[in-house]
Amino acid sequence: MNAERFELVVKGRLSQNLIAAIDGFEVSRCEHGETHLVGWVPDQARLHGTLELPRDLNIEPGSVNPKPPEPDTFDPSRETPKGDSDG
């Protein structure tokens, strides 16, 4: 698995401390009683660790969704932002 972008949806609104505990993810939106977090996951082991964190923090999971990169967003598996190429 190459680095991929994922959206984690959890039930409820998370405090800033809980958001900070989910390293590498940022809140993309909060609506309908759910918090949507988006971030890059470098490999499958990190994905599994990230998925265990909400359980360990007693946060009710909603869903996990692969998220295609947005144009001109940084992909940590590459050295240049997506969309920048010399060809």
CA distances from 50 to 16, 33, 57, 79, 81 (A): 17, 21, 11, 24, 24
pLDDT at 80: 45
pLDDT along the chain (87 residues), means of 10: 91 90 89 93 92 89 88 56 47
pLDDT of residue 85: 47
What is the pLDDT at residue 57?
A: 86
The predicted structure's pLDDT at residue 87: 45
pTM: 0.72
